[in-house]
Structures are given as C-alpha cells and as structure tokens.
Structure 1
Amino acid sequence: MSDAMRTLAGRTVVVTGAARGVGRAIALACASAGARLILADILVDQLSETAAQLAAAGHVTRAVPLDLADPESIVAFAADVAAHEGRVDGLVNNAAIATGIGGPEFDAIEIDTWDRVMRVNVRGTWLVTRAMVPLMGAGRIVNVASDTALWGAPRLLAYTASKGAVISMTRSLARELGPRGIGITCIAPGIMRNEATEYVPAERHRLYETGRAVPGPQMPEDITDTVTFLLTPGALALTGQVLPVDAGFVFT
C-alpha cells in the first residue's frame, strides 16, 4: 500500500479497550492505515495477543495495561506513553462497560452498578482525555458512544446515561480543544455481533437487525473506516459532531 493510501502513516494513535471486539477491530484498521499503535486495556492477556498479532503482521505497536476505573492507572499510562512515544496524534476512547442490556428497569438498578458504569465510561473517558491532550499537537480524538443515547433504549439506563454524557463531553471539549488545533468527534454505533455482546438477549439483537435501514447484523469492522477517517487531519471540520454509524437504525 502506498503512503498516499496509508491515511494514518506517521501518526501515533492510542486505542483504549483494544483487547477484543470493537477496540480490537479499530486497532487493526488503524494499523492497516499506517498508524503506530499504543493499545490499552484491563484485559492484559487478550491485549498481549492482539499486540502480538499486529507485530507479527509488521505493524509498530505496544500494549500497555490500563484500568479506567483507577485514576492512578491512567496517570501511570500517560507517563509510560510520554516516556516511550513522547507525543500522540490520535486517541480513540473506546473502553467502556455495559451491564444489563435488556435487564432491570430503572428502579431496580443497583447503586453500585450505576456508580461503576459512570466511573469507567464517563470519568474514565474524561481522565484519559485529560492525560493525553498534553501529549498532542494538532491531534484528533474519537469517542465511542452508543446510539442507545440517541433513541433512548429502555432497560439500560446506566449505560445509556453514561453514553449520553460522552456525547455531551464531546461537544463541550470540541470548543475547549479547538483553539489548540485538536478535533474531537463521537461515533454512536448500534449493538454489534462480537464476543463482548454474546450476553445480549436475542430479542435486542433482533430489534436492531430488523430495524436498520440496511437490515442485518452490524460487525465491528463496519465502523472502522469511519474511525480511521476521523483520526486524519482532514476531519477537523467535523469536530463536535456525533455520527450514528449504525446502518440507519437512528437518523439525526
């Protein structure tokens, strides 16, 4: 592949939640587009496997453990990146937890569950962004939210609220980071078929797969071209935008 086709050539990209599923697919796509990758996840063994696969294919990559629920882990992660790479051109805030899809109604959610989802999905995304921005020049950030926050998915309140917060943070940060030349966008996929969603009730999968404008299952690979484009210099004009990449389940 020529450098002209390698849209992320020469750029260093951090992908959180890169051990499996959506994050792994994003990492593979970024590597194919020429990026040097820093892969982060709490699932250390699977993270190492993903990094080894990329390295075997000739891609430049490092795996660094990261626990979004632990502020000290995030500080240590940033220090590691600063020491080894020195700068970052792109950040994909993909890591998150989803609990109880199609599960308890709003008044049956455990407070500990609510707090854990917010701690990882909202506070963790903010803290990773805060830690990476000082290492960026004219960088690009892509937050991975969910279209559940756009259509109001029932029986999923903690997760839906957390992803709504990620969308709001994206818009606010676009105004704060724009003067620095940093663009930040948000994608809102629907439920995808991968190992991370095997527990999702079959009826919720059917709801999506029959309700999309392009019917059928959505795979992690279906969103990766969008993410790689949003990490390029040419995506700055889209800063602050939320893109529902869900094959037309939600229109905005």
Structure 2
Amino acid sequence: MRLLVFGQTGQVAHALQALPQDITALPRSAADLTDPAACAAIIREAQADAVINAAAYTAVDRAESEEDLATLINGTTPGAMAQACADRGLPFLHISTDYVFDGAGQTPWKPGDPVGPINAYGRSKLAGERAIAQAGGHWAILRTSWVFSAHGANFVKTMLRLSETRDALSVVADQIGGPSPATGIAQALVTMAQAMADGQGGGTYHYAGLPYTSWACFARETFALAGRTVQVTDIPAADYPTPARRPLNSRLDCSATRADFGIEAPDWQAALADVVRKVCA
C-alpha cells in the first residue's frame, strides 16, 4: 500500500516512517501547510492509495495569539486535502485531538459527543474536522491525546530532562487523560488506511492509552521506570497558569475504533517503558 504522509519530523510522522510500509513523508519544505491549494495539488499528482495528514500547528499556548495561522494550518488546509482526496477517490486520514471537547465531567468522551473547545488550538482543530466532513469522500478523523515517544518534544522527555537537575517537581494532578504512544497511533492509522482502501470504516474515532491517569502520576511512572528519585507534588491546574486553558477531562472512549477496525486502546505503561529505555540509553 502506498501512503502519502503530510509531515516528516513530528512524533507520529516519524513513527509512520519506521513502519514496513511504502511511505512518502513530506517535510514542510515540500508541503507548505499555509498554502491549502499547494497541498491539494500534491495530492492530485501523487501516486498513492491513501493520504494521512500527520502535520499540524501544535503550539497550544502560542495559538492564543496566532489563532488565524493555527486555523489556516489545522482547519483550512486539511479541508483542502480532504477535498483533493475526495475528488480522486482516495481515503483521507487526519489526526485530531481531545482538545475539541470542553473537558467537563469525568465520563470518557465518545466520538459523537458534543464538542466545545476552550482554547484557540482546540477551535482550530475542530475547524479542520468540520472542513474534512464537508469535503465528503472517504475520510477518517482519529482524535488522540497526550502523545509521547522517544522522538521530538513531549511530556516524557521534558520530565526526564528536568530530572537530571531537579529532585522535586510540582505537576498538575487534576487533568485526567490517556497517554498515547506515537508508535501505536502510527500503526492504528496504517490499519485504518488499509481497511478504508477496501471500503471499510470511516468517520470520527478515538485512540488513547489506558488506564486513565493524571499528569502527576504519568510523571511518577516515568521517573520510576528511569530509576530516578524525584519527589512529585500534586497541584491543581489553577496553580500552573498557561496562556491556553487545558481540559480537565481528556478521557477518550475508544470502543468505536475497536469495533470498526479491531484496534485496541494501547497500554501506555508498557509503551512508556520502551520509550524511557530508548531515551535513557
């Protein structure tokens, strides 16, 4: 199967390239995400069986002051990609986020639940979801959360870096979600693409790790696996203010993904052990 992937250096794009697939991964120098027409033209000319958009504007806090740019990259451009795929009859897969929800309550979010993003980044990603759906064709949106890997910038690598010089940290404990390994997301996307190429599946899905946990507990597990003694103090999100508000409830219900594609929610603890081993090697 020939896959055209927008993105090359991000966590999921990097993981996709490590899979035994025929993948053409496009860096930003080859695919300008601020130019929807150019990205659509690439799809129209590509020799591909499916297209995966693993590229995005991901600077959550900066998006508060750059919402127009974030919406162009995360909203308008994916819509143009989806339209080009629809015109060619190609499956289009796109990564979205738990940030499209408002984070209320404690019940895991299902794909069809009401959305209500509380920050600019979430609004920009929701704009992309809606543009993709409006384009028609055969598409799938995969919402995920708290992505981590041995590559790129993420919470796990930040904690490990801080633990080299700090023996105590305060970490938010009232935001609950499912850490998601980039390797698992990549494999899920390939599985979905293969099924969609055969005419199966389509729509909005969730993929996130189990069991649900807090950032503070995620940090403790990271330090334990790395053999580093760091005292973690639980704090509420209100004590760690950021330009962009984060949802307190980022739990995602992944049952539809399992039902349609046979993809199970990943065990983030097992995946974390592998990532820590690689980072600390």
Same fold (TM over 0.5): yes
Aligned residue number for residue 162 of structure 1? 124
Mapping of residues 26-175 of structure 1, within 5 Å: 26-29=16-19, 32=20, 34=21, 36-42=22-28, 44=29, 65-71=30-36, 73-74=38-39, 77-78=42-43, 82=45, 85=46, 87-101=47-61, 109-110=64-65, 113-134=66-87, 136-137=88-89, 139-152=90-103, 157-173=119-135
Aligned residue number for residue 10 of structure 2? 20
For 2:199 and 2:133, the matched residues in 1 are separated by 13
| Higher fraction of helix | 1
Moved more, 147-156 or 218-227: 147-156
Per the alignment, in what secondary structure is the counterpart of residue 100 of structure 2? helix
Moved more, 68-77 or 198-207: 198-207
Per the alignment, in what secondary structure is the counterpart of residue 96 of structure 1? coil
Aligned residue number for residue 154 of structure 2? 197
Q: Can you list the C-alpha shifts for 1:36-86, whole angstroms capped at 9, x where unaligned?
A: 2221121x5xxxxxxxxxxxxxxxxxxxx111102454255346xx2xx5x
Contact 1:100-1:155 at 8 Å conserved across structures: no
Per the alignment, in what secondary structure is the counterpart of residue 253 of structure 2? coil
- Mark the CA change 1:141 to 1:75 in structure 2 (over 3 Å): closer, same or farther: closer
In our comparison, the structure showing a higher alpha carbon Rg is 2
Contact 2:96-2:143 at 8 Å conserved across structures: yes
- Runs (5+) with no aligned partner, structure 1: 1-10, 45-64, 178-182
Q: Cα offset for 1:99?
A: 2.0
Residue identity over aligned pairs, in percent, reads 15
- Runs (5+) with no aligned partner, structure 2: 105-115, 160-168, 213-250, 255-281
Aligned residues: 192
Q: Cα offset for 1:155?
A: 9.6
Aligned residue number for residue 243 of structure 2? none
- Root-mean-square deviation (CA, aligned residues, Å) is 3.6
TM-score in terms of structure 2 length? 0.56
For 2:180 and 2:171, the matched residues in 1 are separated by 10
Q: Can you list the C-alpha shifts for 1:145-199, whole angstroms capped at 9, x where unaligned?
A: 01111344999611101122233334434xx32xxxxx21111110212424369
